[in-house]
Amino acid sequence: MNRRAAQLLQWYDDHHRLFPWRVTPSERARGILADPYRVWLSEIMLQQTTVEAVKPYFQAFVARWPTVGALAAASDDDVMRAWAGLGYYSRARNLKKCAEIVANELNGEFPSTIEGLKALPGIGDYTAAAIAAIAFDRPAAVVDGNVERVVTRLFAISTPLPAAKSEIRAKVQAITPTNRPGDFAQGMMDLGAMICTPRRPACVLCPVNDDCRVLGEGDPELYPVKAPKKDRPVRQGAAFVAISSSGSVFLRKRPASGLLGGMAEVPCTDWTARRDGDTSADAAPFPARWSASGSISHVFTHFELRLSVYRAENVAEKIADNGWWASPDELPDEALPTVMKKAIAAAIPDAFKAA
DNA sequence: AATTCGTGGAC
DNA sequence: TGTCCAAGAAT
């Protein structure tokens, strides 16, 4: 094993983080293996998502669906409701599809190879390598944002991302040991999260600081170099919170694909246009006594949305169609993305407060 | 290669 | 307040 890997593994033994989906180094040494289902589920949830945000969702999912077969047997709507709030909802749709394939076509067992894993929906380069390494001890090159940062600093790779990805992957493959590749991968990610951080890295505590080219030559904070970001346009629209005489709220289901695909919403004007949408009550989906009820702002990855919120009370339930009425106690369990919860809360301030 | 996908926390 | 960014994938 190369010296860099040995030093990294020793550091991981001493300083690894503990997560509900993890097997510790000592457990692994005693032959306890990670459950591929839990590794897969956690890796999907962790895509572009912080550990702290994932924890409660992971616990809820494994408590409710302890096996891939149980998840495959769940309803799509139950999975989307359970995922609501975590973001990137195509992950939830692909999660369900993947569970069905594994349960129904692969005898309930995840593939152990990169190729087999990548063929499954929602599993790309990173996740395939991570599952292969962590769950099956394959010496796969696991490259996430942490590893990109660590490696561009270790080797002083100044090519901007994402063009540098292939070069980074080759470096990672070269230093990945055949012994304990899963612990090595997790160690590299822990190193990036705890020591080799984006700002103010703790280089003095780094187990491989003796081999870091950037530490010797310049400023680690300048790595990785990234391509400039696009600006974020502002879009506007209106949201309509219709309340029945019994206090129910009218919801619809969004189209299966695209932004917030398959999730629930209150009726809205179009906000796909780059110019301002119609923010007036004239754009209401059906006639009612609409009154302005404030506005909300919500930041998506590639645009910012400002919604004027209108509310109407004592709306006759039969006037609205292509949707359903959610009672006050049902509302918190609907598949409502955060932006929709904000809009409803603007009209009904205590809609999502604990009973 | 460039876009389109959420959300919340840190600074 | 604005900016970055967090275990990326699909198209």
pLDDT of residue A197 exceeding 90, the answer is yes
State which residues between 51 and 110 of chain A bring their CB within 7 Å of strand B.
Answer: 52-53, 85-90
Q: A125, A133, A57, A132: which is closest to A92 by C-alpha?
A: A57
Q: A58, A98, A93: which is closest to A79 by C-alpha?
A: A93
Catalytic positions of A: 43
Q: Does residue A131 contact residue A40 with C-beta atoms inside 8 Å?
A: yes
Question: Smallest CA–C1' separation from A146: which nucleotide?
Answer: C7
The boundaries of the domain holding residue A61 are 3-222
pLDDT of residue A6 exceeding 80, the answer is yes
pLDDT of residue A25 exceeding 90, the answer is yes
Reduce the DSSP state of residue A312 to 3 states and report it. Answer: strand
* DSSP characters over A206-272: -TTGGG-HHHHHS-GGG-S-BPPPPP--EEEEEEEEEB-TTS-EEEEE--SSSTTTT-EE--B----
pLDDT at site A274: 58
Q: Are residues A79 and A11 in the same domain?
A: yes
Lowest mean pLDDT among A75-89, A217-231, A234-248: A217-231
Which ranges of chain A does DSSP label H, i.e. alpha helix? 3-15, 25-29, 36-46, 51-64, 68-73, 76-83, 90-105, 114-118, 125-136, 145-154, 165-175, 181-194, 213-217, 338-347
pLDDT in tens, A146-173: 999 999 999 999 999 999 999 999 999 9
Q: Within a domain: residue A73?
A: yes
pLDDT in tens, A248-266: 999 999 999 999 999 999 9
pLDDT of residue A101 exceeding 80, the answer is yes
Q: Are residues A205 and A245 in the same domain?
A: no
Residue type, A201: P
- The percent of residues above 90 in pLDDT, for chain A, comes to 91
Q: Are residues A164 and A265 in the same domain?
A: no
Given its phi and psi angles, is residue A5 left (phi above 0), alpha (psi -120 to 50 degrees) or beta? alpha
pLDDT of residue A355 exceeding 70, the answer is no
Query: Which pair of structure tokens corresponds to residue A197?
Result: 């951080």
Q: Within a domain: residue A227?
A: no
pLDDT at site A131: 98
CATH no. for residue A286? 3.90.79.10
Lowest mean pLDDT among A62-66, A97-101, A277-281: A277-281
Q: Which nucleotides of B are covered by protein (CB under 7 A)?
A: 1-9, 11
